A and B are shown apart, each in its own frame.
Chain A
Amino acid sequence: MSILSEAVKKYIGMQSETEIACDSVERGAVRRYAQAVMNEDPIFFANCANNERYGGAVAPPLYPTHLFRRPFGAPDPIQENARNPDFDGIVAAISSQGLPEIEPLKGYALLNGGSEIEFFRYARHGETVKLTSRYADITEKETSKGPIILVITESEFRNGDGDLLIRTRRTQIRRK
């Protein structure tokens, strides 16, 4: 039986408003990120010959895609779900890249199915980052463990001047 309902298909083509990340590219956050990925290339923290042509210290290539976090004053989903044994820790506003959560898929498990990414420039320390996304496609696939839904999201990340940093096409796997 298909699990891809008409109510889910209605999300195909839906586009987000342009969202501005609540924090600019901060040196301390870049440090924690670079240390967590175990890549302490000097281009990420110091002005050096290798980042001169980028205009100074930059964030790691994929950093802008992780910059959209819960701003001050927004509801705290971790506290709200403190007594919910089924809360998986996923914060919808972050996982959906600025797009509304697909309501009929609430409660479905979510796995990262992969990404296609194009890079045009790095985000420099101090820059703001803007995001626009759309649900490019939603399809169903039969697997040995039953049907799954593939949600394809396309996003563009730009700096405060509107220069394109990164374009992504991401696949999320949702299953009951």
Chain B
Amino acid sequence: MAIGANVYYEDVTVGDEIPQLEKGPLTTAHLMRWSAAMENWHKIHYDKPFAIEHDKLPALLINGSLKQQFVMQLLTDWAGPDGWVWKASFQFRAMNVVDETLRIWGRVSAKRDGPGYGLVDIELGIVNDKGKESTPGKATVALPYRGGKPVPYPFVPPQA
């Protein structure tokens, strides 16, 4: 599927894998660039002696906030210009360290009709180059019906 293309609710089946995203290897320069962009100076992401000797970490850590960005790119790329990523949740269960390559993945776990659009639940996560999962999460994406209108913007959630 080309990035920027629309995916329609009818074309989605429970169990479908959504196109994966790969980021990395993520070097100290990547981590420093992200820390500078968001002006967060937590040393465990760029000060190796502090991370290892003071905070007793194995290495510089890849920011959880950076991993969230990758998950959001996975979801928004898939939702397409007429869809909308309504909800996303992440748990930082394990550390990812500098120089790892991350593979961000998602799988359709459920779908249901909504008011003028369809809702698709997704299980997701981030796996490093050793195959270890670090960031399990869930998302709900609103998709347009084929032949229907784009998902309303600003997004109005369905009534409970």
Contacts and interface: CB of A to CB of B under 8 A. Distances in A.
Interface of A: 29, 32-33, 35-39, 41, 49-50, 53-54, 60-62, 66, 69-70, 78, 85-91, 94, 109-121, 163-164
Given A37-B34, A50-B4, A88-B42, A114 B90 contact: yes
B42 to A, nearest CB: 5
Contact of A85 (B4, B33, B41, B54): B54
- DSSP class of B's interface residues: helix, strand, loop or mixed? mixed
B38 A66 contact: yes
Interface of B: 4, 23, 30, 33-34, 36-44, 47, 50, 54-55, 63-66, 68-70, 72-73, 76, 81, 84-92, 137, 150, 153-155, 157
Nearest to B46: A89
Contacts of B4: 50
A33 B155 contact: no
Nearest to A31: B37
Contact of B39 (A60, A61, A94, A115): A94
Contacts, number: 109
A37 B66 contact: yes
Contact of A61 (B33, B54, B55, B76): B76
B72 A115 contact: no
B71 to A, nearest CB: 10
A36 B155 CA distance: 27
Nearest to A43: B81
A36 B55 CA distance: 25
B32 to A, nearest CB: 9
The 9 A-B pairs with the shortest beta carbon distances in the complex, nearest first, are A112-B64, A121-B154, A36-B37, A37-B69, A89-B41, A114-B91, A89-B43, A116-B89, A66-B38
A118 B84 CA distance: 11
Contacts of B88: 116-117, 119
Contact of A60 (B42, B72, B91, B155): B72
Given A32-B36, A37-B73, 11 more contacts: A36-B37, A37-B34, A54-B153, A60-B69, A62-B69, A66-B65, A89-B50, A90-B42, A119-B85, A120-B155, A121-B154
B37 A33 contact: yes
Contacts of A86: 54
A138 to B, nearest CB: 18
Nearest to A81: B41
A115 B68 contact: yes
A39 B154 CA distance: 22
A121 B153 CA distance: 7
15 contacts: A36-B34, A50-B81, A53-B150, A60-B69, A62-B65, A88-B42, A88-B50, A111-B92, A113-B91, A114-B90, A115-B68, A116-B87, A117-B89, A121-B155, A164-B154
A49 B23 CA distance: 27
A90 B47 CA distance: 13
Nearest to A78: B41
B72 A62 contact: yes
B23 A113 contact: no
A59 B121 CA distance: 25
A109 B40 CA distance: 15
